[in-house]
Amino acid sequence: MALEAASAGWVSEKGSFMSAFTSHKAILPFLLASAGIAGPITTVPWNGHTGAVSFTYDDARNSQIPNLLPQLDGLGIKATFFITNMYSFPSKSSEWIEVAKKGHELANHTSNHNTPTSDNVRTMATTLRGLNPVVEALTLAYPNCTVSGTSAVEAENFMARGCGQTTYAWNKQPSDWMNIQGLILGPSSAGNGVTMMNTAKNNNAWVTTIVHDVANSPDQYSLTPADNKKMLDQAVANKLWIATYQDVGAYYRAHFTMDNVNASAGNGPWDLKWTSPHPKMPRKVLLKVKLDANTFGAANSIKVMQNNQEITPESDGSYTIDFMLLGMKVTKVPVGVARERSRLEGFQVRRDGRGFDVEGPDAARIDAWTLSGKHLGATDLSEGGKARLDVEASSSVLLVATRAGGARSSQVVGPVH
Ligand SMILES: [Zn+2]
C-alpha cells in the first residue's frame, strides 16, 4: 500500500502536510464524481452479512425449553420468545430467566393474549422487565396476528410483529414499524422455512419466522424438531446474520438515522450528533459503520471517539460504534505526513520483534502510533543518545520524533520479517 511504499525516511511535518492537503483538494472532484452519492457515514448492511433472519417462537409453550433450546444453543443461535401469561409462563419464570441470560430475547405478547391495550401491554412489559436487568422487552407480537391497539403498543415498544410474507430490503424504510412481519410456519409449510433462508440470502433481505411448538405431532402453527433444525441449519449454511428480532430491528431502524448524519469535507474536527428514532430503542445498539474518505480522510489519518474512548477500525476499515451514545467525534491525526518523501535526516531506527532501538543527534521524544492512530508508547532520547521503545504491534508502526523546540519528523517502519 502507498503509505508503506512511500515512507523510506524521516520527513518534515509542516511541508508535507501542506502538499498533502493541496493534492487532496485537487483530486477531490474526481473522487466525488466516481464514488456516486454515498453519505459521509454509511452503516454496513446486516452487520456485515448478506441477509438476516430472526427466529421467533410464541406463547412460551411447554415444548420450547426442552425441545428447542438445545437446538439453538447447539448452533449458538439467539432467538426471540414472545411471552404471555397463558402457557408455561409465569409458572416456569425462573427457567425463562435462564433463557434470557443466555442471550435470547424475551418479548411482549400481552399478558392475556388479547388484542393489545395499554393495560395488557404495560402489564406484560413490567413483568418481563422485572425478571432480570438483561430483559429489555422492547418489541411485541400481536396475539392472533391481529394488528390493532398500535398506540398502546408503540408506548412500550420500538417495533412490533405482524404476520405476513413481507421481506425487508436494507435501504427501504418500512412504512410502519408497528407492523414488521414474520411468516407463520406449520407442518404442511415446513419447507417454506428453508425457502425463506434462501430468499434472505438471494435478496440481501431480512426475514422473520414464527413458530409455536417445536414438538412431534405439531399443530398447524408448529414444527417438528427435525423440520425446525433444517431451517436453522439452512440459515447457518447461508451465512445469514442470525439475531433476535430486537437486535436486527434496532440495527435496521438505527441505520436510517445514521446514514443521514451530515458532515462537511475538510480538516475537522467533527462533533457529530444524532437523535434516537424512538423513545423505546434498546439501551445499546452496536452499528458497524464506514466513514467516507472524501469527507474525513483515510482511516489512517483520523481518530474516532465516543465517550472519550477511541474506536479503532476493523480490518475492513469499518468502526463498531454504539448508536445510542447519539454522537461521535472525529479528528485528524498526524499520520498522513508519512506519505511524503524524506526531507529530514538524522535519526536511526532498528526494529525487532519487541520494539525499536532509536539513535539520534538531538534530544527528542519518540512516540509510536499504529497507522489507524492508536498510541502505542513513547520514550525520551537524549542528545547523541540511544533509547529503547517496546511496543506490542506486528504491523507497520508510525514513529514520530519531537525535538526540543517542537520540530517534528516521522517515519513508518514496516513489520519485521
Ligand atoms: Zn400467541
Centre of ligand 1 to C-alpha 279, Å, is 26
Check: CB of residue 388 under 8 Å from CB of residue 379.
yes
Q: Kindly give, in sequence order, each residue whose CB lies less than 8 Å from that of residue 33, ignoring residues fewer than 6 positions away.
A: none
Q: What's residue 1's pLDDT? A: 32
In whole angstroms, give the CA distance from residue 144 to residue 157: 18
Give me the CATH code for the 46-251 domain, please.
Answer: 3.20.20.370
Regarding beta strands 80-83 and 105-108, do their DSSP bridges make them parallel or antiparallel, or are they unpaired?
A: parallel
Between the CA of 107 and the centroid of ligand 1 the distance, in Å, is 12
User: Which pLDDT belongs to residue 15?
Assistant: 32
CA distance 330 to 304: 5
CA of 62 to the centre of ligand 1 (A): 13
Distance between Cα 60 and ligand 1 center (Å): 9
pLDDT at 345: 57
How confident is the model over 37-53, as pLDDT tens digits? Answer: 468 999 999 999 999 99
- Rounded Cα gap, residues 356 and 388, in angstroms: 6
- CA of 329 relative to ligand 1 center, distance in Å: 45
pLDDT at 228: 98
Distance between Cα 82 and ligand 1 center (Å): 8
List, in sequence order, every beta strand (DSSP E) within 214-301: 241-242, 270-273, 286-291
pLDDT for 36: 37
- For the record, the C-alpha cell of 57 comes out as 417462537
Return d(Cα 150, Cα 351) in angstroms, integer.
64
- The whole-number pLDDT of residue 354 equals 85
Task: Measure 61 CA to ligand 1 centroid, in angstroms.
Answer: 9
How far is Cα 327 from Cα 322, in angstroms, rounded to an integer?
9
Spell out a b/e string for 346-374, using b for 16 or more CB atoms within 10 Å of the CB, else e. Answer: ebebebeeebbebebebebebbbbbbbbe
Distance between CA atoms of 246 and 136, rounded to whole angstroms? 9
Nearest to 282 by CA among 152, 173, 135: 135
- Tell how far the Cα of 113 is from the centroid of ligand 1, in angstroms: 6
Measured in angstroms, how far is the CA atom of residue 154 from the centroid of ligand 1?
Answer: 19
- For residue range 113-136, list pLDDT tens digits in order: 999 999 999 999 999 999 999 999
Q: Which residues contact 99 (CB under 8 A, 6 or more apart)?
A: 65, 69, 81, 106
First to last CA, the chain: 17
Cα 209 to averaged position of ligand 1 atoms, centre (Å):
13
Q: How many residues in total does the chain contain?
A: 417
Confidence (pLDDT) at 258 = 97
Q: How much distance in Å is there from the Cα of 264 to the middle of ligand 1?
A: 49
Q: How far apart are CA 68 and CA 193, in angstroms?
A: 15
**255 C-alpha to center of ligand 1: Å?**
30
How far, in Å, CA of 370 to CA of 394, rounded?
Answer: 10
Instruction: Show the low-confidence residues of the chain (pLDDT under 70).
Output: 1-38, 334-345, 417
Backbone angles phi, psi at 323, to 5 degrees: -55, -35
SS3 assignment for 16-44: HHHHHHHHHHHHHHHHHHHHCCCCCEEEC
**CA–centroid distance, residue 114 to ligand 1 (Å):** 9
Q: In what order do the strands lie in the sheet with 309-311?
A: 270-273, 327-332, 302-306, 309-311
- Cell numbers standing for residue 278: 424512538
Tell how far the Cα of 277 is from the centroid of ligand 1, in angstroms.
Answer: 28
Residue 124 carries which side chain, given as an amino acid letter?
M
Span from the CA of 141 to the centroid of ligand 1 (angstroms):
8
What pLDDT shows up at residue 38?
A: 60
d(CA 315, CA 281): 29
Query: In degrees rounded to 5, what are phi and psi of residue 16?
Result: -70, -30
Q: How far is the CA of 210 from the centre of ligand 1 (A)?
A: 10
Distance 105 CA to ligand 1 centre (A): 16
